[in-house]
Amino acid sequence: MEVIIQKDAQAATDLTARLICDAVQSKKDSVLGLATGRTMENLYSNIVKRYQAGEADFSRCATFNLDEYVGLAAEHTQSYRYYMNDLLFSKININLEETYLPNGVAPDLAEACQQYENKILDKGGIDIQLLGIGNTGHIGFNEPLSSLASRTREKALAPITLEQNGPLFDDPAEMPRRALTMGVGTILDAKKIILLATGKSKAKILAKAVEGPITSMISASALQLHPHCVIICDEDAAEELEGKEYYHRIFENEPEWQVYHSLS
């Protein structure tokens, strides 16, 4: 695991966007694992600007999102399909038929989850998995006590997740209580992983995930097991990392293109 600390959220977002676009340019048919949430909004805006500047061609890419709410149709404004179409897919030259999300309105959710796993395998696996980190330390919707070997499945959302995401709905009571999510094991199967974290609110949980014990109570801690994972964060999110000075020293001695050169 590499930890790259940037001066602020903009710098962290800019580096993440550049790494993703560089990787896509290097491998035109990249399979990208994508995430949603507030942290990703600025990232996707940055990627769109780079695409418009000719820095990336997504025409041969395929994408798989981490999760989707159970019961929300694609046209629902709070569905993750709507989010992705609105913020990214409609603004780049990707084939919408090659953009995949779990089907939260499938008549058989278990079968839909298995089909999702099969589709990822059919595409040769995920080349780069993008992640954020939730306040419970979750990646995707792998809430506390998720098995570290779990696959795509239906998951009940934790109270803190409902509290965090509820205000995004016109009526917080309408927020679904369950979601379909890639499992921790599914995420760890990705060839490379980038986790982007910004802001002081992520400092405590990021430190636990990066430097604490590997535990099912914090699914992001499983990333310590991955051989090609980079954490990109700003100074605020890095505030409680015990090894912060060490991470800074590594980055100063090894420029970013050397620290994570294997991504592109």
pLDDT at residue 158, rounded to an integer: 92
**C-alpha 50: how far from chain center:** 19
Residue of 138, 226, 234, 235 marked active site:
138
pLDDT at residue 262, rounded to an integer: 44
pLDDT at residue 123, rounded to an integer: 98
Contact yes or no for 209/137 (Cβ under 8 A): yes
pLDDT at residue 85, rounded to an integer: 98
CA 1-191-151 angle, to 5 degrees, is: 100
pLDDT at residue 264, rounded to an integer: 45
Q: Does the annotation mark 143 as catalytic?
A: yes
pLDDT along the chain (264 residues), means of 10: 96 97 97 96 98 98 98 96 98 98 98 98 98 96 97 95 88 92 98 98 98 98 97 98 93 59 48
DSSP output for 184-231: HHHHHTSSEEEEEE-SGGGHHHHHHHHHS--BTTBGGGGGGG-TTEEE
CA gap 116, 34 in Å, rounded: 14
Contact yes or no for 125/31 (Cβ under 8 A): yes
CA gap 97, 70 in Å, rounded: 21
In the chain the domains, ranked by start, together with CATH numbers, are 2-225 (3.40.50.1360)
Residue of 14, 143, 189, 235 marked active site:
143
Tell me how far CA of residue 74 lies from CA of 140, 164, 255, in angstroms: 18, 22, 41
pLDDT at residue 168, rounded to an integer: 86
Tell me how far CA of residue 205 lies from CA of 11, 150, 183, 217, 228, in angstroms: 21, 21, 20, 11, 21
The residues with which 257 forms a beta bridge, in sequence order, are: none
Q: Report pTM.
A: 0.94
Residue of 14, 67, 68, 189 marked active site:
67
